[in-house]
Chain A
Amino acid sequence: MKRRRSAEKRFRVYGLISVLFGLLCLVVLFGDILSKGLAAFSQTVIRTEVVLDADYLGLNKNSSSDEIRAANFEGLLKNHFKEMVQPDGRKERRQLYSMISAGAAWQLIEAVQANPGLIGQAVTFDLIADDDVDQWLKHDRGVEGINTRMSEVQIAWMESWIEQGMLTTRFNTLFFTNGDSREPELAGIHGAIKGTFLTLLVTFLLSFPIGVAAAIYLEEFAPKNRITEIVEININNLAAVPSITFGLLGLAIFINIFGVSRSTPLVGGLVLTLMTLPTIIISGRAAIKAVPPSIREAAFGLGASKVQVVFHHVLPLALPGMLTGTIIGMAQALGETAPLLMIGMIAFVVDVPGFINDPSTVLPVQIFLWSDSPERAFTERTSGAIIVLLGFLVVMNTAAVMLRRRLERRW
């Protein structure tokens, strides 16, 4: 008896351990991503007063936008920093210049384009620092024996800048307003978010009506015969087919046969539509099934036709459930990566897409692309993008749960 009791206890503990292991994995995963990614939301800048020398730039207050763009702001910045820290020799000069991002000159250009009156004045700018400076300030400063990419001279400069309050961090707005870039400090997720939005828009516009229509047909109209059975088996199978095969279909049929252009939200949305349809159909059918037959019988009793019963009575009652299923399907589509790689959404796209036929990338693919980049700063940005992606998913799933709670009706 004692042995049986202890066996009982052991079994129970095994079960508890399994559940706890699953939860532990969840905590570790989130903790890991958060600890790596939160730093991506702050950015290191160098605050300095730059004299916008009219003679050096060859500009005056009436210069046009194009003239401003062509002016040598990069040289101006180099001179500015050269005078400020007085580097010794060519090698140090090169090290100094490498500490400022290539985007810093663009900050000046944009400021002057917005207000040509600044030319000739001394203006204070928060110049973007290079990603190596950024990483040093966030992670390496004051840590003994770490293998940093910065030389001793550079570290000395940075320490003196910090003393003068020049080197600070601020909220990383660029991360949300820029497209992709080869420079980690300039890379942002605006393009990816816009691409994701357009792709999901196409997916929703196609999959929701088609999915609802298919669910209605199968649940209300389909005769019980072979064909219906085949359709049903098909849908259940499609829900479990590896997502990558949908990518193969998109490549072979949409792109090669129908000539839809690659890398666009349009073709991405088409592929994701086929992928999410089974989810929407299955949840839609469950929602229709949950509407009690008494509603249908009452409507029939009042002389409504079959189509009228379905569209005027069953569908409005089943719609909340269908919407919940659709949101869950959309959340799946949002996280999907593999089929989109096949149809060329992996391209390096700097521009923010404007419409569904512009080349673009999506958030998960952007994560995949960045995770391949060797720079340390990109790891941080990848985690940052993952946090944003998970944020979207949490919002969508919470919306689905709330919708279900609020609109759930007990019969």
Chain B
Amino acid sequence: MNYSSLIIVVLILLGAGYLLGRNRARAIAGQGVKLHSLPTHYGALVALWTGLPPLLLLLLWALAEGPVVDHLLVAQLPEAVQQGSSADIQLAISKVHNLASAAGVGAVAELQPAVEHLVALESRANILHSGVVLSLALLGVAVTWRRVQPQLRARSEVEGIVRKLLFASSGIAVLTTLGILASVLFEAWMFFGKVSVFEFLFGTSWSPQIALRADQSGSSGSFGAVPLFAGTLLISAIAMFIAVPIGLMSAIYLSEYASPRVRSYAKPALEILAGIPTVVYGFFAALTVAPVIRSIGASWGLEVSSESALAAGLVMGVMIIPFVSSLSDDVINAVPQSLRDGSYGLGATRSETVRQVVIPAALPGIVGAVMLAVSRAIGETMIVAMAAGLAANLTLNPLDSVTTVTVQIVTLLVGDQEFDSPKTLAAFALGLVLFLVTLVLNYVALKIVQKYREQYD
């Protein structure tokens, strides 16, 4: 049986277990015996013990089966392949898988024993996991059904299990962070085994293409990431140059000047900008903004690259406006009215109050908002992938083409890849840098915003 039909069978058993447990409890109650819990609690207990263990086992099995089967297969491969590199073994194993599923690959004689072994293994594994899972479910029904007795504390047990499930769900967020860290750290570690950390962080030449043969020119590739960092910072700086003043002024206008009516329309309208998918911004930047900038540049006699940093930065700035404005709006609204009233009482105009009282009071929060926006800009991928270039130029000229960390991650990992070449691993090293930088920015920004909110609460 395949996984989906097994899951369905287990779910049916789970439902049956619930009914069985509840009915047994009702029957006992019908005899005039006082139960510890409600009949539905007994039903739920039977259902949980029927469903949970087999489903958990199935999950583990699904995760473990592939690697285990591959491991067993290696012994069946021809001697010559087994002596080869791990890439050869991988290739042979995927060939065996294709042969076994008959996916349009001609038969290969020396792989035949492995193919037969795989088919046999798969059918054996299938019988094994179906049998184990089903018997576990049936065992769960039988044992828990027998345990349904008046003195069984079914409710406490069910609630205990439910609490554990809830706790496990909230743990997934932590596991995600650990997973991201582990994956980028592990691959980055392998990368730094081939390229020194110093060269990666401070080298100024980036050309990750590695030649096929060792004697070709540029065979080693060079992994100095400084041009990428500079490009990322340049585009982010352009974006912040647009987003911070406009976002901040919009927030001030909407919270201090606009009538409630205008506010109720303008605020959601601005927030639409934040809801537009980044791929749409990327398309807009590449096909509309970039040509416009180019023709404007040409009319002023300037040489503008067709993939200029300016186009990507401008559009990214527009994307971030609502982010800055809604965060600063919150912060400005958190400034107590008494501060404003005090300022008005001293004869200040509104703009003077905003500039000399509200903004200084809200400054830490605004700084936090801007930091969050910067982290957003650094991690933005699609706009730069579509509108910025691939050439790793080390320049500060916004009309030139630059590349960013995220663009390089995308280009290095899209398409065919082998997992031991420094080219692929470099993407993970860049990912590590990106993750750490944004993590620090977010952490500090969230701390500042939080602290600030508490101050006026």
Contact = CB atoms under 8 A, between A and B. Distances in A.
A26 B272 contact: yes
Interface stretch (B15-23, B182-190, B295-303, B390-398): B182-190
A341 B409 CA distance: 10
B278 A32 contact: no
Interface stretch (B113-121, B140-148, B435-443): B435-443
A249 B174 contact: no
A141 to B, nearest CB: 23
B352 interface: yes
Interface in B391-415: 406, 409-410, 413-414
A213 B164 CA distance: 10
B171 A258 contact: no
Given A12-B351, A236-B446, A240-B375, A249 B277 contact: no
Given A213-B165, A277-B173, A371-B282, A241 B180 contact: yes
B14 interface: no
A119 interface: no
A249 B159 contact: no
Contact of B443 (A5, A7, A233): A233
Contacts of A281: 170, 173
Interface in A238-275: 238, 240-249, 251-253, 256-259, 274
B276 A390 contact: yes
A338 B280 CA distance: 12
Contacts of B443: 233, 237
A11 B434 contact: no
Contacts, number: 262
A211 B172 CA distance: 9
B240 to A, nearest CB: 15
Contact of B250 (A18, A258, A365): A18
Interface residues of A, number: 86
A146 interface: no
Interface in A209-250: 209-211, 213-214, 216-218, 221-222, 230-231, 233-238, 240-249
B410 A342 contact: yes
Interface stretch (B47-55, B334-342, B380-388): B380-388
A240 B435 CA distance: 10
Given A238-B176, A242-B381, A371-B286, A364 B354 contact: no
B386 A368 contact: yes
A280 B176 CA distance: 15
A241 B439 contact: yes
Contact of B439 (A25, A237, A252, A331): A237
Interface residues of B, number: 92
Contacts of B67: 257, 259
A129 interface: no
B287 A242 contact: no
Contacts of A147: none
Interface in A352-374: 364-365, 367-368, 371
A238 B66 contact: no
Interface stretch (B103-111, B211-219, B252-260): B252-260
Q: Which among A246, A259, A334 has the greatest number of chain B C-beta atoms within 10 A?
A: A259
Contacts of B456: none
Given A14-B249, A21-B246, A390-B276, A26 B269 contact: yes
Nearest to A19: B250
A338 B406 contact: yes
A274 B171 CA distance: 12
Contact of B442 (A237, A252, A253, A259): A237
B159 A22 contact: no
A234 B379 CA distance: 18
B352 A4 contact: yes
A274 B177 CA distance: 10
A390 B351 contact: no
B280 A306 contact: no
A306 B160 CA distance: 11
A124 interface: no
Interface in A314-373: 331, 334-338, 341-342, 346, 364-365, 367-368, 371
B283 interface: yes
A282 to B, nearest CB: 10
B266 A393 contact: no
B172 A371 contact: no
Contact of B428 (A8, A11, A36, A248): A248
A18 B279 contact: no
Nearest to A15: B253
Nearest to B270: A22
A248 B183 contact: yes
A367 B279 contact: yes
A145 B130 CA distance: 71
Contact of B179 (A25, A253, A346): A253
Nearest to A235: B173
B174 A230 contact: yes
B277 A342 contact: no
Nearest to B427: A248
Given A236-B446, A242-B379, A337 B177 contact: no
B58 interface: no
A399 interface: no
Given A241-B439, A244-B434, A213 B170 contact: yes
Closest 10 CB pairs of A and B: A242-B379, A15-B253, A335-B277, A252-B183, A259-B66, A213-B169, A11-B351, A18-B249, A338-B381, A217-B166
7 contacts: A15-B254, A18-B253, A214-B173, A217-B163, A217-B167, A248-B427, A335-B279
Interface of A: 4-5, 7-8, 10-12, 14-19, 21-23, 25-26, 29, 32-33, 36, 209-211, 213-214, 216-218, 221-222, 230-231, 233-238, 240-249, 251-253, 256-259, 274, 277-278, 281, 305-307, 331, 334-338, 341-342, 346, 364-365, 367-368, 371, 379, 382-383, 386, 389-390, 393, 397
Given A23-B270, A244-B381, A274-B172, 10 more contacts: A10-B351, A15-B254, A19-B254, A26-B269, A29-B276, A249-B180, A257-B67, A341-B413, A346-B414, A371-B283
